[in-house]
Copies of this chain bind each other. A is one copy, B any other.
Amino acid sequence: MTIKRTLLCIAMEAEAKPLIEKLKLTGDTSFFPPNTPFVCHRSEAVTVVCAGKDSATSVDNVGTVPASLMTYLALQRDEFDLVINAGTCGGFKSMGATIGGVFITTASANHDRRIEIPGTQFKEYGIGAIDSIATPNLTKLLKAKNGVCTTGNSLDHCKEDDEIMANNNASCKDMEAAAIASICKMCDVPHFGVKVVTDIVDGDRPPFEEFMENLGSAAQSLQATLPAVLDFVQGKTIEEL
């Protein structure tokens, strides 16, 4: 079976906007139930969903709870052959990350769900590691790096997060990947992530400074990368990626 329709899950509007404009996607206000904040733009082959704005604070609905609900509601329509989680991330320079560089995920896992109950598998559940599909040809085409994306609901990272991110063998860090992956697994739809580095996790600058500085250029880098990704996947089988 070849890939005909691809769902792109993007948390923030600023990450998605250049791509939506570039691909001339049309807003579809009937895609999501009206009580949700989620936003959809689409063409025949490509659907981009964003998590929308929080009603109380007007900031983007970042994090695992909106990302998972948005992804589930999109996949409930049973239209998609592939999910790509696209967006920005923190990168580990110890794993070769540079600002603006692109990672294609090999797996995702959580680093802020510490549930240690001896004699149970709650610890493994909390980590929730899920493989992405293999994309050797796409990775080569994009000259991207492969790596594990580690997910947590904080922009910063505490000592406990650092230990688990290291155990997760993470190359990059975001706030949604593991949640989106868990929904793709639930719905049995193949997925991977395309993440552009806005800040260095194992550097010496506060993440928010680099994040805000580089969000615009990273969105431009996403806009340059994602059309090539979408061109490549369209009409191919999962095994050909």
Interface residues of A (CB under 8 A from B): 33, 35-37, 54-59, 61-65, 68-69, 72, 76, 110, 112-118, 120-122, 124-126, 128, 152-156, 158-160, 179, 182-183, 185-188, 208, 211-212
Given A69-B72, A154-B126, A208-B118, answer yes or no on A113-B59 (Cβ-Cβ < 8 Å): no
Q: By the criterion CB–CB under 8 Å, are B59 and A120 in contact?
A: yes
Closest to A120 in B: B59
How many of these chains are in the complex? 2
Q: Closest CB-CB distance, A120 to chain B, in whole Å?
A: 6
Please, how many angstroms separate the alpha-carbon atoms of A120 and B215 in the complex?
15
Please, how many angstroms separate the alpha-carbon atoms of A187 and B35 in the complex?
6
Closest to A68 in B: B65
Q: Which of B55, B113, B156 touches A154 (beta carbons < 8 Å)?
A: B113
Give me 22 A-to-B residue pairs in the complex whose CB atoms sit less than 8 angstroms apart, sorted by A's number: A35-B186, A35-B187, A36-B186, A55-B185, A57-B121, A57-B125, A58-B121, A59-B121, A62-B122, A63-B126, A65-B182, A68-B69, A69-B69, A69-B72, A69-B183, A112-B152, A113-B154, A115-B154, A117-B155, A117-B208, A126-B154, A153-B153
Please, how many angstroms separate the alpha-carbon atoms of A126 and B59 in the complex?
10
